[in-house]
Amino acid sequence: MKNILITGAAGFIGGNLTLKLLTAKKFDNVVGIDNMSNYYDAGLKSYRLGLIDALKNSAWKFFRGDLSDKNFVDKVFAETRPEIVVNLAAQAGVRYSMENPDAYIQSNIVGFFNVLEACRIFGVNHLIYASSSSVYGGNKKIPFAVSDRVDSPISLYAATKKSDELLAYCYGELYGLKATGLRFFTVYGAAGRPDMAYFKFTNKLLRGEEIQIYNFGNCARDFTFVDDIVEGLCRVIDKPPENFPPHKIYNLGRGEPVNLLTFVEILQDELIRAEVLPADYDFDAHKKLVPNQPGDVPITFADTTDFERDFDFRPKTSLREGLRTFAEWYKKFYGAAN
């Protein structure tokens, strides 16, 4: 029974992890940090916090603030003394990194550095942090393995995530900080991020707008359901690296890339099934194939051999199962087309 701190606790993955840990009653105290940024609809973050608050669990404590504020971070660590830290707070999104690069440096570099320093100063036993499949850049070899070179990022977002890995490694080498980095692959699910394709497409279709499918549909993504990501995190929490330097990186993905055109077909099936859209909706009239965008990669494909070996787990939820869960949640939360 320990104290655990989760940054980005009102975020998509952070909110789901917090709910699971509080329900399991494994920790004496579950502390959350989030800045409630308006990168996307803050109402979704409030919704996630509402689900957490509805548990009425006395172990839960929430702090609103920004990780780039070192005084704030140090104050939270000093007050709560976490033994385990899960850093899920980050400025996400590949395309947005070209519009607002400063947000990525402040959140993903400065913020992560402040977390590392606090972990060092306050003697944290294990830091688990979110990296991204984006670090693989335009790698041609598939599936992506942790042993592959990742020194050619094609987006600022990817560069910041690779920087986090290097910083965590350095803190392990210098100070013995035990840290595990997880490269997430296209996480999706209910109450997710509206900037992700499945959510963004649904919003546009509901408004009768056109959806754009990049690289003329010749893309594939390794879609990973959020519940599988959370299960993976839970398995990592109690198993810090024992090597030296005590730093490990793993891929966490389903290991089954799906072509974007197939993805859209499954999404439309589930939106109709959930009655988000009518059965006679003309999807072809609302789809447009367009060229690739800067920062995008043609395929993501996780080699999860190392994770399966060390934690006896591999994400198992099919894309159809996951999108069905999303569509049913969307219908309850937003309603349907008139």
Cis peptide before 143 (omega within 30 of 0): yes
pTM of the prediction? 0.96
Residue 213 scores a pLDDT above 60: yes
pLDDT at 111: 98
Residue 338 scores a pLDDT above 60: no
Domain ranges in the chain? Answer: 3-138+145-185+225-253
Give the catalytic positions in this structure. Answer: 157
The C-alpha atoms of residue 229 and residue 20 are separated, in whole angstroms, by: 12
The C-alpha atoms of residue 63 and residue 143 are separated, in whole angstroms, by: 39
Residue 336 scores a pLDDT above 70: no
Residue 94 in tokens = 């590949």
Percent of residues, the chain, with pLDDT higher than 70: 99
Q: What is the mean pLDDT of the chain?
A: 95
Residue 172 in tokens = 């392990």
The DSSP code sequence of 109-130 is: IIIHHHHHHHHHHTT-SEEEEE
Helix (H) or strand (E) holding 268: helix 260-273
Mean per-residue pLDDT, 258-263: 96
CATH of domain 3-138+145-185+225-253: 3.40.50.720
pLDDT at 300: 95
The C-alpha atoms of residue 126 and residue 82 are separated, in whole angstroms, by: 10
The band of 95, judged by pLDDT with boundaries at 50, 70 and 90, is: confident
